[in-house]
Structure 1
Amino acid sequence: MNTPCFKAISLTHKKAPLAIRELLALDTRACQALLLTLRRELGLSDVLVLSTCNRTEVYYSSPGDFSTAILEQLAALKGRQELGEYGSYFTCFTRSEEAVQHLFEVAMGLDAQVVGDQQISQQVKQAYQWSVDADAAGPFLHRLLHSIFYTHKRVEQETSFREGAASTAYATLELVERLTAHLPSPRVLVLGLGEIGSDACKYFAGSSRFAEVKVCNRTRSRAEAVAAQHGLPVLDFADLALGLQAADVVVSSVAAATPLITGQLMAGLSVLSHKFLVDLSVPRSIEAEVEDVPGVLLYTIDAIRSQTSATLQRRLAAVPQVRAIIAESMAALREWSREMAVSPTIQKLKSTLEQLRQEELQRYQNKVSPAEAARLEEVTKALMQKVLKQPVLQLKAACRRGETGALVDLLTELFDLEKEAAHHLSVA
Structure 2
Amino acid sequence: MKDFKEVRLSYKNTPIDVRGKFSLTQQECEELLKDYQSDDRINELLFVSTCNRTEAFYVSDEDMSVDIIQKISNKKGVDIKEAVKYFESDCDPLQVQNHLFRVALGLEAQVVGDIQISNQVKRAYQWTADYNMAGQYLHRLMHTIFNANKRVQIETEFRDGAASVSYAAVEMIDELTLDITDPKVLVVGLGEIGTDAVRNLQNTDISDVTIMNRTLSVAEELAEDTGYNIRAFEELWHAAKEADVIISSLPIADYFNVDNVKDLDILAFKCFLDLSVPRSVAEDVDKIPGVLVYTVDDINARADKALERRLNSIPKVEAIIQDSLVEFNKRSKEMEYSPIIKGLKNTLESIREKEVLKYQGQLSLKEQKQVDKITKNLLNKIMKVPVLQLKASASADKKEGEKMGQMISELFNIDIEK
TM-score by length of 2: 0.71
Query: How many Å separate the matches in 2 of 1:37 and 1:243?
Result: 46
The reply to whether residue 326 of structure 1 matches residue 321 of structure 2 is: yes
Q: Which moved more, 1:48-57 or 1:162-171?
A: 162-171
Query: Match of 2:104, as an amino acid?
Result: A
Q: How big is the shift at 1:187?
A: 7.0
CA gap of 1:243–1:137, structure 2 versus 1, over 3 A, is: farther
The reply to whether residue 128 of structure 1 matches residue 128 of structure 2 is: no
The gaps in structure 1 that reach 5 residues or longer are 175-185, 206-211, 224-235, 253-265, 276-294, 296-304
- Contact 2:33 2:45 survives alignment (8 Å): yes
3-state SS of the aligned residue for 2:337?
helix
- Contact 1:31 1:49 survives alignment (8 Å): yes
Query: Match of 1:124, as an amino acid?
Result: V
Q: Which moved more, 1:370-379 or 1:403-412?
A: 370-379
Match of 2:136 in 1: 139
Query: Match of 2:188, as an amino acid?
Result: L
The reply to whether residue 114 of structure 1 matches residue 115 of structure 2 is: no
CA gap of 1:325–1:42, structure 2 versus 1, over 3 A, is: same
- 2:159 paired residue among 146, 159, 162: 162
Alignment of 1:288-303 (within 5 A): none
Q: How big is the shift at 1:249?
A: 6.2
Query: How many Å separate the matches in 2 of 1:362 and 1:115?
Result: 65
CA gap of 1:349–1:326, structure 2 versus 1, over 3 A, is: same
Query: Match of 1:12, as an amino acid?
Result: S
Alignment of 1:10-409 (within 5 A): 10-80=8-78, 82-167=79-164, 169-170=166-167, 188-189=187-188, 197-200=198-201, 214-215=210-211, 218=223, 222-223=227-228, 236-237=229-230, 239-243=231-235, 309-402=304-397, 403-409=400-406
TM-score by length of 1: 0.70
Query: How many Å separate the matches in 1 of 2:301 and 2:110?
Result: 7
Q: How big is the shift at 1:364?
A: 3.7
Larger RCO, structures 1/2 (Cα 8 Å, 6+ apart): 1
CA gap of 1:383–1:173, structure 2 versus 1, over 3 A, is: closer
- 2:6 paired residue among 5, 8, 11: 8
Identical amino acids, percent of aligned pairs: 37
Q: Deviation string for 1:29-69 (max 9, x for gaps)?
A: 11111122223235422311111110111111111111011
Q: Deviation string for 1:57-100 (max 9, x for gaps)?
A: 111111111101111211222233x2122112012111100110
The gaps in structure 2 that reach 5 residues or longer are 172-184, 213-221, 241-245, 257-279, 281-299
Q: Deviation string for 1:116-165 (max 9, x for gaps)?
A: 11111011111111111111111111111111111111111111111112
Match of 2:409 in 1: 412
Q: How big is the shift at 1:215?
A: 4.3
Query: Match of 1:95, as an amino acid?
Result: D
Q: How big is the shift at 1:197?
A: 2.4
3-state SS of the aligned residue for 2:150?
helix
Query: How many Å separate the matches in 1 of 2:396 and 2:411?
Result: 22
Q: Report the count of equivalent residues.
A: 343
Q: How big is the shift at 1:172?
A: 7.2
CA RMSD of aligned residues (A): 3.8
Q: Which moved more, 1:108-117 or 1:409-418?
A: 409-418
Query: How many Å separate the matches in 2 of 1:244 and 1:97?
Result: 53
3-state SS of the aligned residue for 1:161?
coil
